[in-house]
Amino acid sequence: MKKYLLFVLLVAQCFSAQFTDINVVKEIRTHRKGMVVSAHPLASEAGAKILRAGGNAFDAAVATQYALAVVYPQAGNIGGGGFLVGVKNNGEKFTLDYRETAPSKATSNMYLDKTGKADTDLSQNGRLAVGVPGSVAGFYATLKHCKLPMSQLIQPAIDLAEKGFSITSREAKLLNTHKEDFLKHSIIASAFVSTDQWKAGDLLVQKDLAATLKRIQKDGMNGFYGGETAAMIVAEMRKGNGIITLDDLKNYKVVERKPLLFQYKGNDIVSMPLPSSGGVLLAQMLKMSSFENLEKYQQNSAKAVQIMVEAERRAFADRAEFMGDPAFIEDKTAMLISDEYLKNRWKSYRPDLATPSSQLGKIIKQPKESTETTHISILDKEGNAVSITTTLNGLYGSKVVVAGAGFFLNNEMDDFSIKPGVPNMFGAVGGEANKIEPGKRMLSSMTPTIILKNGKPFIIVGTPGGTTIPTSVYQSVVDIVDFKLTPNMTVNAPKFHHQWLPDAISVEKNFPENTIAELEKLNYRFDRISQIGRTEMIAIDENGVVTGVADGRGDDSVASE
């Protein structure tokens, strides 16, 4: 058995038919080796290559993110922002917040028309929707944990942009679907617009992006936040209603934050604090459902779903009221995750009936579904672990490509509460705590998480999916810790989601019908949606066996050292 564990075991589902030269690998089991799981096989491979070249997990994190900015332009980015949670093999735990900020000229009513009505088209599409990008600053902040120079970490991305790569059928379909948006929001046709229809296997070459990456390689931070690239971003703003200035770019700062730490059934959970609501929600939901001995039930059974939905509902009601950028509001995290507060919050739970969300606030319209953003889980053979979620917000962000620089800009401003009570693109509502203010970070749901057992990485996990992110990570933790399921059974099981408002449980189409029928009898309402999230997980057992699982819902892929 032990001998068997020493072999690299590829339990792979290869979908080579979709590609001309790349394979999607859905699961790898190996012994004490580094591993990268991301949304795209070429990005995972870029990270794994850096591990093979002697880099550590942080080196691989930088290389993978740059590569995703090329091969996964719908969410991988240099024009957006993200959060990194790191645990080093010496026990050090830290997070990097490279979330976008509101430009200095932003105002709380910038998306309201003359009658005071919120214009969500403005906060979601085009130049006014763009927050000051943080990703490149985040990569530079990561460098102090790295072994290799930035010039080496960025090179795989430069090669991919310059020489091009074969796109998958999913990417071809998305690029075709959004062609009109790209043309509408960019003055010159970018590399993403084809005169014909894109098809699987077509080569996507991004010369402008390659040149931008080379400027970063040559000039460091100034290759993005200054010089030619910054001038191009500001020129792009001036082609429409954009407000980002050269000073906004120059003044962008990453914030190193203490991770949100809490215990769950003998495990230490390390997650992202505010301005992401993710870690706080995760702690609240896990603690509330632990009052009901969740481990007695089974994944996606009616009882487990009911308890978890009621925990989700209460946590999301708190999100709307209390959460925002801690530099601008009083940070109530300690109170919100305290046992005393949560026990009190749980008192209204009734096993025989759904708690109406209206008991907690007024009902607001149905959200749009979305699965944007992207997650990367990485482990190296020395035991360093990294969990990163990064985003442009919507698919291809604002749909604005910076002319001459070749990358998409985010539409992260929509994550602010553009008017208290008006839902954002994920249907999330917010209040004063998340109102727009210059320099402020918009509230996020991203939940990059690492679970430690006996002080060592046990699970590295995260997912895209807007407001479904914290609930999907919650389900992953419960599946592993309470239901003792394998990573594959966790990542690929049908998911559910409740976010207080709207008062409905979103379920994936293959969700068990008997669970739905049982819960409908208790007054729960369901919405069937196409998919929820794309979880990337690495699990490490006590014998040092490492299992990486890439979500089956997309082209997500694992690569090992």
Q: How many Cα atoms sit within 13 Å of 204 on the Cβ side?
A: 30
Compare residues 42 and 336 and give the one whose CB is closer to ligand GLY.
336
Pick left, alpha or beta for residue 410 (phi over 0 → left; psi -120 to 50 → alpha; otherwise beta).
Answer: beta
Length of the chain: 561
Compare residues 393 and 476 and give the one whose CB is closer to ligand GLY.
393
Question: Beta partners for 256?
Answer: 96
Report the C-alpha gap between 193 and 179 in whole angstroms: 6
Count of CB atoms situated within 10 Å of the CB of 73: 28
CB of 534 to ligand GLY, least distance (A): 14
Report the C-alpha gap between 142 and 96 in whole angstroms: 8
Nearest residue to ligand GLY, by Cβ distance, number only:
444
Question: Beta partners for 450?
Answer: 270, 460
Question: Beta partners for 166?
Answer: 203
CB 45 within 8 A of CB 24: no
Footprint on this chain of ligand GLY (rule: CB under 6 A):
373, 391, 393, 415, 444-446, 466
Report the C-alpha gap between 285 and 499 in whole angstroms: 12
Catalytic hit among 373, 468, 490, 515: 373
Compare residues 306 and 371 and give the one whose CB is closer to ligand GLY.
371
Residue 373 annotated in active site: yes
Tokens at residue 126, please? 């085009």
Phi, psi of 2 (to 5 degrees): -65, -40
CB 305 within 8 A of CB 513: no
Tokens at residue 303, please? 């009882």
Instruction: Identify which of 297, 340, 302, 278 has the alpha carbon closest to the alpha carbon of residue 499.
Output: 278
Position 381, amino acid: K
If you search the block for the tokens 């990358």, which residue do you land on?
A: 407
Compare residues 97 and 551 and give the one whose CB is closer to ligand GLY.
97
Compare residues 373 and 490 and give the one whose CB is closer to ligand GLY.
373
CB 24 within 8 A of CB 556: yes
Compare residues 466 and 554 and give the one whose CB is closer to ligand GLY.
466
Compare residues 388 and 446 and give the one whose CB is closer to ligand GLY.
446
Angle between helices 339-346 and 302-322 (to 10 degrees): 120
Compare residues 41 and 466 and give the one whose CB is closer to ligand GLY.
466
CB 474 within 8 A of CB 266: no
Compare residues 75 and 386 and give the one whose CB is closer to ligand GLY.
75
Position 63, amino acid: A
CB 165 within 8 A of CB 71: yes
Report the C-alpha gap between 77 and 66 in whole angstroms: 7
Q: DSSP readout, 268-307?
A: EEEE--TTBSHHHHHHHHHHHHHTTTGGGS-TT-HHHHHH
Q: How many Cα atoms sit within 13 Å of 264 on the Cβ side?
A: 32
Active-site amino acid positions: 373
